Structure 1
Amino acid sequence: MRTMEARAEAGGISRSSAHRIVGQQMIPRCHQQLQAFLASCEVPENGVAGLDRRLEQGLAAP
């Protein structure tokens, strides 16, 4: 957990935010925070792109 938090901090998301996301106490507040969190979890860039498409589809749904 500390390693992921350190990577998150280096990627532009606070350690406490990363901890709250992991603990399901909050969701990422913006696209940049989501990307930083996923990068800290070492999700590959192509995995992030696929998630972006799914999120856009979900947000566009009525």
Structure 2
Amino acid sequence: MVLFAGILNSQLWHLVPLILAVSLVYGATRHELLGPILHHAWKTTVWMLTFMGVIFAALFVLSFWL
């Protein structure tokens, strides 16, 4: 519960809009139409959040042994 409370008051909430903005710009460099841009941005956002989540989970588990 303490971890959840720490996340609510954390600056990590800035991460989601930042990743979404980066994904939109990255998608716009690959496509010109709005549909493919949004589709690519969604896929990139999910990929980035999943990747960062896996890294976070690995470091969180690893922190118990250190």
TM-score when normalising by structure 2: 0.37
